[in-house]
Amino acid sequence: MKTEINDCFYEGERPLYALKDGALNKVRFYPGESALKHSSDVTAQNCEFMCKYPFWHSNHIVVEQCQFTVYARAAIWYTENLTMRDCLVEAPKMFRRVSHLTIENSRFPNAGETLWNCDDVTLKNVELQGADYVFMNGENIVIDNMTLQGNYSFQDAKNVTIRNSHLNSKDAFWGTENVTVYDSVIEGEYLGWHSKNLRLVNCVIRGEQPLCYATDLIMENCIMEDTDLCFEYATLQAEINSHIVSVKNPKSGFIRAQSIGEVIIDENCINPGACVIESVDYEEN
């Protein structure tokens, strides 16, 4: 039988430790630790969390229309099968080593170091601000309609699909593998360095020195705005429907653009001529 807990508050250490088959509504968790640690089959609605570590080592959790205040840092770690909807998360360091996680219609105004080492993650209609180092080492991530402001996002992540999103992030996608981004805007310096199998489709790219040291980069129907010194030591297939400020020492493959301000092939180029560069105003020697 489900345990129902309504319109009350808890504080201190482990007040609902290992709760099973519970339904919480309008419950406030004041300062303390591990309020629902090792819980399972719990639904929390319209609750407020001001405590640390409420959902650690939990399973089958639904959190709806809840607030995690700044004091609820590191709230959800080592947990499986969690769904979050319509929440406000003001606390940093949310979600570490969480698997089978779904987040919908939620805001994270202080999202630093969130979603580390998480697997099988789905995000839809999510806003992340102050989000330095989000998604680090994540795997099997699907995102639709995300707004992200924060640097060093997706470092070393694998198997990621992103659609209809806007990322303002310096050093995004460093060391990633098998990432595909559709119909999105990505702005920030040093995009995608040392990535493998990064694919950008119908995207707008802004920022200095993007996509250097990338391996097997694919760009389809993309626009590059104010991008210079692009593709150094990259292997790529790039179809760019705009001007590129400058290209430097690509390693191999091809680049097709409407125009290129400058192509730099110097003594440090690996395999000169191995990358075919085509545009209206540039013709390879």
SS3 content of the chain, % helix, strand, coil (to 5): 0, 55, 45
For residues 44-73, average pLDDT: 97
pLDDT band at residue 155 using 50, 70 and 90 as cut-offs: very high
Burial bucket for residue 106 (CB in 10 Å: 0-12, 13-18, 19+): buried
Measured over the CA atoms of residue 204, residue 186, residue 105 and residue 142, the dihedral's sign is positive
Fold exhibited by the domain 1-90: Pectate Lyase C-like (2.160.20)
Q: Which residue has the tokens 């699909």?
A: 161
Task: Kindly state the helix (H) or strand (E) to which residue 3 belongs, with its residue range.
Answer: strand 3-13
- 165-183: pLDDT as tens digits: 999 999 999 999 999 999 9
Task: Quote the pLDDT of residue 1.
Answer: 78
Q: Cβ atoms within 10 A of the Cβ of 231, count?
A: 28
pLDDT at 52 over 70: yes
Its pTM stands at 0.95
234-246: pLDDT as tens digits: 999 999 999 999 9
> Which residue would you say has higher pLDDT here, 227 or 284?
227
User: Percent of the chain, pLDDT > 90?
Assistant: 95
Measured distance CA(108)–CA(173) in Å, rounded: 20
